[in-house]
Each structure stands twice: as structure tokens, then as C-alpha cells.
Amino acid sequence: MCTILLNEFLDLNAWAEWFAALDRELIFLLALPFVVAIIGLWAWWVEREEDEYEARPAQAAEPERRQGERRGATRIPHHGLR
């Protein structure tokens, strides 16, 4: 009994007939959410890569900026004016 159901489920000709009987509008509506999800994931991935790329120079410049602050802090004149 189980093998009969499995054979019917795996019958490619039956699936081809079922797919041919569907309306093109229904196929479009069934595929649309998957296409939108794939495009959304791709856009998220590209944006994340751009953010990581933009953050790299800022991270590299951070120690130089702090070092400049330290140098500036040591150059405070005795009269307190900068």
C-alpha cells in the first residue's frame, strides 16, 4: 500500500500533466513570493557587504585619531588657551 502511494507520488508523468493543467497566472502567483524573497535576500547581502566595506577604513583610522587626540592633549599650553 505504501509503495503504491510512493510510486504515484514519484510519477513524473503525473506531475507533468498536473503542471500543464495549471493556469499561467496561478504559476506566476505561486512563484512570485519566492522571487521577491530571493531579491530581498540578495539586496540585504549587497547592503551588508557595502556596510562592511565602508566600516573597514573607519576602523583602521580609529587608532590614528586617538593617537592624534593624545598628542593634542599633551600640547596644552600652560596658560590654558588652545
Residues, the chain: 82
What pLDDT does 59 receive?
57
Cell, residue 81: 588657551
Q: Give me the residue spans of the domains in the chain.
A: 23-82
Question: Sign of the CA dihedral 66, 68, 74, 78?
Answer: negative
- Taking the complete model, does pTM exceed 0.85, yes or no? no
Q: Give, for all 82 residues of the chain, the pLDDT tens digit.
A: 667 777 777 888 988 898 889 888 988 998 999 999 999 999 999 998 888 877 776 555 566 666 656 665 556 666 655 5
Distance CA 77, CA 54 (A): 37
